A and B are shown apart, each in its own frame.
Chain A
Amino acid sequence: MKKPLLETRHDEVRYTSYVVGFILSVIATLIAYFFVVNHLWPKEMLMYVVLGIAVLQLIIQAVFFLHIGRGSRLKLVTFVFAIIIVLIIVVGSIWIMHNLDYNMMQMSPDQMNMYMHQHEGI
């Protein structure tokens, strides 16, 4: 066994943690890809499944790669806070734009005229 060049503290980051994280991530990516390429479900359903798998991957990587929860407690706190801000920005934007702006989201000009005619009497 070769002698290490530098005396370091105890090896706290485990090898298995990275291997398990990597394998799980690859599997999750392939599953999501497989579902979409083969159109296993209708579009709406597929969208939620893919989003679910993405969130699962976030958790996998946060635990096995980023090691959240180990070390400083503030790391976990700032992470949760950032996630809350992210959700407010993303969900809020989609919600507001979907509701307020006829010109946004999936509506063709014809559909938009119809919508405005029916709902607003324009």
Chain B
Amino acid sequence: MRSVVEETAIQEKKTLGFWIYLMTDLILFASLFATFAVLRGQTAGGPGGHDLFDMPFVLLETMILLTSSFTVGLAILGSNRGYKKQTILWLIVTFVLGAAFLALELSEFSYLAAEGNSWQRSAFLSAFFTLVGTHGLHIAIGLLWLIIMVIRLVKFKFRQTDLNRLALFGLFWHFLDVVWIFIFSIVYLIGGMA
């Protein structure tokens, strides 16, 4: 049996490893942001951000994601105190909010594509779909992770590894929230100005 001190040291290393992965992911998003910033005026005669974006809709998406970032924090607090039911409840709330966000984003995408403004329309739209779509993909993977974690928590006893995984998931989810803040500000607010 390893000592608690050793256990904590190992966990700290794992957290750092995951954190470094997140930072490389941040650089991936940075290159997509740079591409978008360069191409945002290249609409090839097609519609620009101002014609396409529905501001109240995007604000709703943002609020849903912000709230889910908060509820995942509550789940982590619950797990730190050792309350299993509370943890599962908040994780499910997070899942519902995340799924709602993804559904809204997909409905926006399908609406744009149905109007003939898909990623093939212009360089601006290619950059838009790549950037926002990559974020959406991360959210989808996060939801999958969330399902697996909830199933584990329901089926098995609460263990230290569950706490550790939950902490990593929290980092991942907060990170996606931060990326979305920048998508909201740069793509939608600035890109949507007349």
Interfacial residues, chain A to chain B (CB-CB below 8 A): 2, 4-8, 11-13, 15, 18-19, 21-22, 25-26, 29, 32-33, 36-37, 39, 43, 46-47, 50-51, 53-54, 57-58, 61-62, 65-66, 71-72, 74-75, 78-79, 81-82, 85-86, 89-90, 92-94, 97, 104-107
Would you call B135 an interface residue if the criterion is a C-beta within 8 Å of the partner chain's C-beta atoms?
A: no
Interface residues of B: mostly helix, strand, loop or mixed?
A: helix
Interface residues in B, total, Cβ within 8 A:
56
Our count of residue pairs bridging A and B at CB distance below 8 angstroms stands at 152
Q: Given the complex, which residues of B lie within 8 Å of A105, measured CB to CB?
A: 38, 41
Would you call B165 an interface residue if the criterion is a C-beta within 8 Å of the partner chain's C-beta atoms?
A: no
Contact B19 A75 (CB under 8 A): yes
Contact A93 B163 (CB under 8 A): no
Residue on B nearest A44 in the bound complex, by CB? B193
Q: How far is the CA of A23 from the CA of B80 in the complex (A)?
A: 22
A89 touching B16 in the complex, CB below 8 Å, given contacts A8-B80, A43-B193, A82-B26: no
Contact B190 A47 (CB under 8 A): yes
Q: Given the complex, which residues of A lie within 8 Å of B19, measured CB to CB?
A: 75, 78-79
Would you call B66 an interface residue if the criterion is a C-beta within 8 Å of the partner chain's C-beta atoms?
A: yes
Q: Given the complex, which residues of A lie within 8 Å of B182, measured CB to CB?
A: 54, 58
Chain A nearest Cβ from B1, distance in angstroms: 15
